Amino acid sequence: TKKIKLGIVGYGNLGKGAVEAINQTDDMELVAIFTRRDPKDLHVSSDNVKAIHISDAEKYKDEIDVMLLCGGSATDLPEQTPELARMFNTVDSYDTHAKIPEFYASVHQAATKGNTTAIISVGWDPGLFSINRVMADAILPNGSTYTFWGKGLSQGHSDAIRRVNGVKYGVQYTIPTEAAIQRVRNGENPELSNADKHKRVCYVVAENDANKEEIVETITTMPNYFADYTTEVHFITEEELQRDHSKAPHGGFVIHSGNTGDNHNQIYEFSLKLDSNPEFTASVLVAYARAAYRLNKENQYGAKTVYDIAPSYISQRSNEELRRDFL
Ligand code: NDP
């Protein structure tokens, strides 16, 4: 049978993860990687994959079934998704939660016009976590939903500590507070702010002449980033940083605690523990590319979110097999 033909737009962490994820499927193949940089400067890991400048994407309209959009959420996707959704079926991992409604509207308009199917905000959060929040809330309306993130490397917070005077390198992990998780699992339904639920742990390589006390003070009092949180700062050597902190782990928990009947507590819990955030996120994108392709064949045009997609649409297995082995 014919394979689903994919393109990747943007060759960063997610784009690289997408190459690996496509390789693990039997029903999809990668046609090309599109970039805003000079394609010659992209060091693509597989030999038989072409790198193409993004301005030539339109020429591939008939050769690509679905584009995996792997650009950044801050400035790339708000521009790239509507633009490409006019010509291609797309899947992206837009994760600026507060702006999803306006993003959806602009992508929906483009995809409706182009008779394409554009699945937005796919990944783990938003994505798999969103599905689980909705499932739990639908099933146990008399309850509360909690999301904990981590242990995870936060890019934004790591960048923030690297800008502090005297810091040579630094990484920041967000770690869920064990005590807060326990209270939720106990069914206490506590009121918890993000700062109650998480602590921030920083590993810093200081410049030789740096004042370490001053670094700790600057980091722990930084508004928006650290001031409201319990923050630990640990100084380490460059060798330790290389050895212990070069991966991009992430994950977390969605926990819903609800009551039914005569005050029976029901705990719904979903968790992920990821060694590589971008490789996992790209794997989710690739699975949803199947859904974009299939929905488009059914003339279901416009922007969609994970809420609109039935699980069988993302599976490589037939419905017969799913009923027999997975139900
Ligand atoms: P990157 O910063 O690695 O890549 C973003 C873009 O920057 C790329 O598409 C690429 O575009 C460009 N780029 C990458 N490397 C370089 C370089 N060396 N020099 C110049 N430009 C470069 O971001 P990630 O891939 O890590 O993440 C992408 C987005 O995915 C994030 O913004 C985040 O919002 C989202 N995300 C969502 C998750 C979810 O669960 N929903 C989970 C994880 C991430 P080009 O090739 O065109 O230059």
pLDDT digits (tens, 9 = 90+) for 215-225: 999 999 999 89
For residues 53-69, give the mean pLDDT: 98
Per-residue confidence (pLDDT) for residue 235, from 0 to 100: 98
What's the token pair of residue 286? 């690739």
Per-residue confidence (pLDDT) for residue 61, from 0 to 100: 97
Q: How far is the CA of 199 from the centre of ligand 1 (A)?
A: 26
Q: Which atom of ligand 1 is nearest to the CA of 128?
A: 40
DSSP 17: H
Q: How far is the CA of 209 from the centre of ligand 1 (A)?
A: 34
Q: How far is the CA of 11 from the centre of ligand 1 (A)?
A: 7
Per-residue confidence (pLDDT) for residue 60, from 0 to 100: 98
Q: How far is the CA of 71 from the centre of ligand 1 (A)?
A: 5
Long-range contacts of range 291-297, CB-CB < 8 Å, 24 or more positions apart? 291/119, 292/66, 292/89, 292/90, 292/91, 292/117, 292/118, 292/119, 293/4, 293/65, 293/66, 293/89, 293/117, 295/117, 296/89, 296/116, 296/117
* Ligand 1 pocket member 78 (CB < 6 A): no
* Ligand 1 pocket member 103 (CB < 6 A): no
pLDDT at 155 over 90: no
Q: How confident is the model at residue 99 (pLDDT cuts 50, 70, 90)?
A: very high
pLDDT at 158 over 80: yes
For residues 178-190, give the mean pLDDT: 96
Per-residue confidence (pLDDT) for residue 1, from 0 to 100: 79
For residues 261-270, give the mean pLDDT: 96
Per-residue confidence (pLDDT) for residue 177, from 0 to 100: 96
CA–CA separation, 202 and 59 (whole Å) = 46
As a whole number, the mean pLDDT across the chain is 96
The 10s digit of each residue's pLDDT in 304-318 is 999 999 999 999 999
pLDDT at 44 over 90: no
Q: Which atom of ligand 1 is nearest to the CA of 71?
A: 9
Q: How confident is the model at residue 18 (pLDDT cuts 50, 70, 90)?
A: very high
Per-residue confidence (pLDDT) for residue 136, from 0 to 100: 98
Return the residue whose CA atom lies nearest to atom 38 of ligand 1.
Answer: 123
Per-residue confidence (pLDDT) for residue 312, from 0 to 100: 98
Cβ atoms of residues 282 and 14 within 8 Å? yes
Please report, for residues 71, 271, 284, the alpha-carbon distance to residue 22 in angstroms, rounded to integers and kept in the order given. 17, 24, 11
Nearest C-alpha neighbor of 259 from the set 130, 139, 134, 135? 139
For residues 290-299, give the mean pLDDT: 98
pLDDT at 188 over 90: yes
Q: Which amino acid is at 169?
A: Y
Please report, for residues 170, 181, 190, the alpha-carbon distance to residue 143 in angstroms, rounded to integers and kept in the order given. 39, 16, 11
Per-residue confidence (pLDDT) for residue 34, from 0 to 100: 98
Q: Which amino acid is at 285?
A: L
The 10s digit of each residue's pLDDT in 191-209 is 999 999 999 999 999 999 9
- Lay out the sheet containing 152-153: strands in order across: 152-153, 167-176, 198-206, 230-235
Q: How far is the CA of 66 from the centre of ligand 1 (A)?
A: 18
Nearest C-alpha neighbor of 199 from the set 220, 184, 170? 220
CA pseudo-torsion sign 309, 126, 283, 292: positive
* Ligand 1 pocket member 252 (CB < 6 A): no
Q: How far is the CA of 272 from the centre of ligand 1 (A)?
A: 21
CA–CA separation, 264 and 269 (whole Å) = 16
